[in-house]
Amino acid sequence: MISPVLLPDESADPLKRCFDPVVDADTRLLILGSLPGEKSLAHSQYYAHPQNKFWRLLGEVLGVELTSLPYEARLSTLLAHGVGLWDVVAQAQRAGSLDSNIRFRDDNDLVALAASLPRLQTIAFNGGTAAKLGIKVLGEHAQRYRIVSLPSSSPAYTLAYAQKLQAWLSLRGQQELAAH
């Protein structure tokens, strides 16, 4: 028996697209999420949901108060510390913000982006879905980098903040985070 081919249904769940990567030639650490949530998409900003702890966690890693900075200053500060951002999923249908609702996804070309970053040493995944999908997308190229799977900064992942922070602090002290 031939299985039916399922095609995206625009009427079912809206198509969501990721943002452009925030990187430069000095990026040494690339943090990859899965796909921006509703609040982030509405504000056209990475990690815009007020309960998402990304900016607080990364601020503690870098030793810089990020949450009080305007968005563009946050991005500039990350780049100054050799940190880049992007997402594993380029576009997908998804109702709401949960990764478990991602359907009919197209992945970003992580291999090409990583190859374009001459100083890249570490790729960190913000959450289990990003790690699972991202490591698959990178394939054998993942061996070229230090790979770190972090607990999601999302409020949907209910691990206590202190436990999230402990895991995120594994990024601290690495050569790639020294400001230049």
Main-chain dihedrals φ then ψ at residue 29, nearest 5 degrees: -125, 125
Can you read off the two tokens belonging to residue 36? 């921006």
Residue environment code for 103-129, b if the CB has 16+ CB neighbours within 10 A, otherwise e: eebebbebeebbeebeebbbbbbbbeb
Beta carbons of 130 and 87 less than 8 angstroms apart: yes
Beta carbons of 84 and 29 less than 8 angstroms apart: yes
Please tell me the distance from the alpha carbon of residue 154 to that of residue 157, in angstroms, as a whole number: 6
Q: Length of the chain in residues, anyone?
A: 180
Catalytic residue among 52, 101, 108, 126: 52
Identify whether 126 is a catalytic site residue. Answer: no
Active site residues: 52
